[in-house]
Amino acid sequence: MDIVDRSVARAPKAPLDPKNLPFGRNFSPNMFQVDWDEGKGWHDPRIVPYGPLSLAPSAMVLHYGQEIFEGLKAFRHPDGSVRLFRPDRNAARLNNSARRMSMPEIPVELQLDAMKKLIAIDREWAPPVPGSLYIRPAMIATEEGLGVHSSKSFLYFIITGPTGSYFSGGKSTVRIMVARDWVRAAPGGTGTAKTGGNYASSLLAGAVAKQKGCDQVLWLDAVERRHVEEVGAMNLMFVFDGVVTTAPTSGTILAGITRESIGVLCHELGLPFVERAIHIEEVFHGLSSGDCTEIFGCGTAAVVSPVGELLDGETLYKVGTGDEGPVAKRVHEALTAIQFGTAPDNHGWMVRV
C-alpha cells in the first residue's frame, strides 16, 4: 500500500538534550494514519502533520473503550542511523490485542513500513542516547453510535516523540506497593491485551500508591491473590539464589518484549532464568532470609528498573542493599548496549529506519 506523504518539515529549535526530555511530553511534527471500514479493509495510509483528531462525540471509543496501543523505541546509533528495537514483536502484539478486543488486525508489513517512513521523515527528532524516540501506535473505534457492538470503522495512527533516559536526574531505584484491594486482570479478561481500560482501572491504585510514597503498584493474581503478576507498566523479575525468576505470561499478564529479550540475554550471560509462579509470601520470606537478593521491573520506558523497597500494608521490605543489584546492572548494560549500537546485534533486533 502506498503511503501518501503530506508531512511538514520541522526540525527541533535547539539540540535535543536527553536530560531535558520528560517521558511522553514532546511530540514530533508528523503522524501516520490509516482507516479501516467494514467491507473495505485498511485504506488511505498517510503521513500528516501531528494535530487533533476529528471524532464524533458518539464515536464508540469514547463510550466503550474499544482501543489498543503499543509502545516501542528507536535509538540513534554511533553511525548516525536511527534504529527501532524489535518493532516486529510490537506489531505482532498489537494484532494479539486486536483479536482480543474484536478489532481488525493490521498487516505487520504495513505497521513496519508506516513506522519506518514516519521516523525517516522526523529523524531529526530522535535524540542522542541515552535518549530515544518513543513510538506510540494506537487503534481506536470510530463508528458513530451508542449500540454496544464491535465498531464498523477504525483509525490506526502512530505518533512519536523524543524522550530522555527514564531516570535522568532521578533516583535509581523504585518503591513498589503491593495492591491488596484491587486487581488488574482476571483469567479470561483483557490482561494480556494492551488496551486502555486496563490502565484506566489501575489509576486509583496508582494514586493510593503515590500517597504512600510508592512509585508503582505490584499486582497479584485475581483468584488467589497471592501470585505475583506484574507492576504498572513493567514485568517483574526476582533473583532467588542467583536464579532470575519471572511469572509466566498465562493470559493475565502483558507479554513484555523487554522481558522476552532479557530471557534471551540471561541465557547468553550464563544467568539461570526460569518462568514459574511466584508467591508473594515466598518473596517476603526471601527478602527477610536473604534468598531473594534483587527485584527489578523491565519494560520499554525504563528498560530495567531496580526495586529498592516493597510496601505491603504497613510493612516495608528492603530489597538487597536498597540499590541497583549486580544482575539488574548486567542485564541493563547488555540490553542497552545492543539498543545504543555499542555491542553487536547478534539477534537482528535492531531495524534500520
Footprint on this chain of ligand PLP (rule: CB under 6 A): 71, 230, 233-235, 254, 256-259, 299-300
**Residue whose CB is less far from ligand PLP, 193 or 310:** 193
Query: What Å distances lie between residue 160 and 106, 280, 306, CA to CA?
Result: 19, 37, 27
**Residue whose CB is less far from ligand PLP, 66 or 246:** 246
Pick from 285, 295, 260, 289: nearest CA to 275: 260
Query: Smallest distance from the beta carbon of 234 to ligand PLP, in angstroms?
Result: 5
**Residue whose CB is less far from ligand PLP, 256 or 325:** 256
At residue 207, what is the residue type?
A
Report the phi/psi class of residue 124: left, alpha or beta, with left for phi > 0 and alpha for psi in -120 to 50: alpha
Instruction: Tell me the three state secondary structure of residue 328.
Output: helix
Query: Smallest distance from the beta carbon of 309 to ligand PLP, in angstroms?
Result: 20
Question: How distant is the alpha carbon of residue 95 from its chain centre?
Answer: 15
Query: Smallest distance from the beta carbon of 93 to ligand PLP, in angstroms?
Result: 7
Phi first, then psi: what are they for 328, rounded to 5°?
-55, -40
Residue 2 burial by Cβ neighbours in a 10 Å radius (0-12, 13-18, 19+): exposed
Query: Smallest distance from the beta carbon of 302 to ligand PLP, in angstroms?
Result: 9
Query: Smallest distance from the beta carbon of 303 to ligand PLP, in angstroms?
Result: 9
Half-sphere exposure of residue 53: CA atoms within 13 angstroms, side-chain side: 22
Query: Smallest distance from the beta carbon of 41 to ligand PLP, in angstroms?
Result: 27
**Residue whose CB is less far from ligand PLP, 59 or 89:** 89
**Residue whose CB is less far from ligand PLP, 71 or 197:** 71
Query: Smallest distance from the beta carbon of 96 to ligand PLP, in angstroms?
Result: 12
Torsion angle in degrees (nearest 10) through CA of 212, 214, 219, 223: -20
How many of the other CB atoms lie within 10 Å of CB of 153? Answer: 17
**Residue whose CB is less far from ligand PLP, 86 or 116:** 86
Transcribe 145-212 into DSSP letters: --SSS--SEEEEEEEEEEE--TTTTS-S-EEEEEPSS--S--TTSSTTS--HHHHHTTHHHHHHHHHT
Query: Smallest distance from the beta carbon of 331 to ligand PLP, in angstroms?
Result: 13
Query: Smallest distance from the beta carbon of 145 to ligand PLP, in angstroms?
Result: 30
Query: What Å distances lie between residue 99 and 67, 95, 119, 147, CA to CA?
Result: 12, 6, 27, 20
**Residue whose CB is less far from ligand PLP, 185 or 310:** 185
Instruction: Tell me the three state secondary structure of residue 297.
Output: strand
Residues 283 and 178: beta-carbon distance below 8 Å: no
**Residue whose CB is less far from ligand PLP, 12 or 263:** 263
Q: At 332, list the grid cell.
A: 541493563
**Residue whose CB is less far from ligand PLP, 59 or 237:** 237
